[in-house]
Amino acid sequence: MSKAATLSITSKWPEVTVVSQTPQLIALFTIIRDVNTKRGDFVFYSDRIIRILVEEGLNHLPVKDIEVPTPTDVTYDGLQFEGKICGVSIMRAGEAMEQGLRDCCRSVRIGKILIQRDEETAEPKLFYEKLPADIKDRYVLLLDPMLATGGSAITAVEVLISKGVPAERILFLNLISTPEGIETFVKACPGVKIITGFIDKCLNEKKFVSPGLGDFGDRYYCI
């Protein structure tokens, strides 16, 4: 999507943050979008993008002032995260983002939610969830590589809110999103922030992200 179109979306939906579109990031996306990219390279470069996303997400968490002593007997006025965090991955593709979070946040708690499409209704359906017992007291980084229609992500947010997590404490991290998915998600989940790596052009007639990168889970996990 063009810079102007992206700016239009982020201006309309201030809940959405698009990671800075540096030449490095575009080069990484170019590699993982390429149908000819081998699985090993797909995993390696996807992990690099995920790390960038996680670091951007952490920038949106509240901090407080803290003073610490240094080895030179001089105090330093710094910052400290204000609350506890955890990650929640939407299985299975979202699990690919867990290590990127662990690389940035030592010993971080990780929860999981399994959502699949009901074959009869074609609607997303919750099949499984395992979350930290104190999740309502944490800031939650919700992890899923693609925001297409928004159905699974909305269901996941509903699960988190049902567990007592305030919408304002949820950050949804994804590599690629669509304008349609963003609009649907923001309307259904007011207060939740989206941190995305790129906003693609659209959903095609089959409801696939276009230009997209194919099925992220299949390309990441399948040899």
The neighbour count for residue 130, using CB atoms within 10 Å, is 11
Residue 209 CA to residue 117 CA, distance in Å, equals 17
Q: Kindly provide the b/e burial profile for residues 144-175, where b requires at least 16 CB atoms within 10 angstroms of the residue's own CB.
A: bbbbbbbbbbbbbbebbbebebeeebbbbbbb
* 209-210 vs 202-203, strand pairing mode: antiparallel
Q: Which residues are annotated as catalytic?
A: 117, 121, 215, 218
| Greatest Cα pair distance in the chain | 68
Residue 132 CA to residue 152 CA, distance in Å, equals 20
